[in-house]
Structure 1
Amino acid sequence: MRVCGVELKASEANICLLSKSDGLFDLPDCRVRRLNLLDINSREQLQEFQFAFAKLMADYKVDKVVIRQRAPKGKFAGGALGFKMEAALQLMSDIEVEILTPSAIKECLSKNPIAIAFEDTGLKAFQEVAFVTAFASLSR
């Protein structure tokens, strides 16, 4: 199964592809590491963001998108733009989209720790949360 972990931060979606086959994890190469939404008030920009994300998932034959949930209120609450982007991803019709809470991710990692240091994955530092989210989803 191939999943795409997503962390929504400000006006960008940081992504990481991860697949699991026969108990082995694989980090496939991906031409995109993050997608940006430039104009928060533009309907066309939001549709382009959704189309670009859906096209990327189709091109890499991703089975499921896993988004790390953000707090709706409080000190670490996500902004309105992030929730718009999350809705655009959830409304994609051809792919399953799941939202994982930080507590579910933490619980999964306590039962199934990551066997490799993040620095050894070859991913960029900003992709770490997306990688951990994808790993937690595949380890459940």
Structure 2
Amino acid sequence: MRVCGIELKANNVVLVVLDEREFMDLKIKKITLENDEQQDDIRQFCNDFLIFLEENRVERVYIKKRAKKGTFAGGAVTFKMEGLIQLNPVCSVELVSAQAVSAFERKNELLLPLKLKKYQEQAYLTALSSL
């Protein structure tokens, strides 16, 4: 099964695709929503994300959850992007708690792929912990 792990940061969707637990070093590592107040930019973001899912034959998406309130709360734009991702017609989307990702990381001795970028680590762990 081919899955996509996602971490939402500011106006970026950080992407990692795993094929049967194997990291795929893809050209596209993140997709940006340039201006969340412009309909054309939102459409472009949605189209870019759908093309990414289709080109990489993603069967399931896992998004690392963000807090809705408090010190580490996610920004409004990240919640907007999450909603747009959940509406995709290509595959199912599940949210994964930060606690589940941390617990998985503690319980397993992991060697991160060499080609994995530092900023992709949480997306990678989100996908891996969900399999």
Q: Note whether the superposition's TM-score is higher than 0.5.
A: yes
Sequence identity (%): 34
Q: Secondary structure at the match of 1:93?
A: coil
Q: Secondary structure at the match of 2:24?
A: coil
Q: Where do 1:1-140 residues align within 5 Å?
A: 1-20=1-20, 25-111=21-107, 113-116=108-111, 118=112, 120-138=113-131
Q: Please give the alpha-carbon distance, in whole angstroms, between the structure 2 residues aligned to 1:80 and 1:134.
A: 23
Offset of residue 114 of structure 1: 4.3
Offset of residue 108 of structure 1: 3.1
AA partner of residue 2 (structure 1): R
Q: Please give the alpha-carbon distance, in whole angstroms, between the structure 2 residues aligned to 1:134 and 1:90.
A: 16
Q: Please give the alpha-carbon distance, in whole angstroms, between the structure 1 residues aligned to 2:67 and 2:9.
A: 12
CA deviations over 1:107-130 (Å, ceiling 9, x no partner): 33344x1431x3x43111110110
Provide structure 1 residue ranges, at least 5 long, that are not aligned to the other structure.
Answer: none
Provide structure 2 residue ranges, at least 5 long, that are not aligned to the other structure.
Answer: none
Q: Which runs of 4+ in 1 moved over 6 A?
A: none
TM-score normalised over the length of structure 1? 0.87
Q: Please give the alpha-carbon distance, in whole angstroms, between the structure 1 residues aligned to 2:109 and 2:3.
A: 16
Is the 2:5–2:127 Cα contact (8 Å) retained in structure 1? yes
Q: Secondary structure at the match of 1:41?
A: coil
TM-score normalised over the length of structure 2? 0.93
CA deviations over 1:66-98 (Å, ceiling 9, x no partner): 100000000000111111100000011121111
User: RMSD between aligned alpha carbons?
Assistant: 1.3
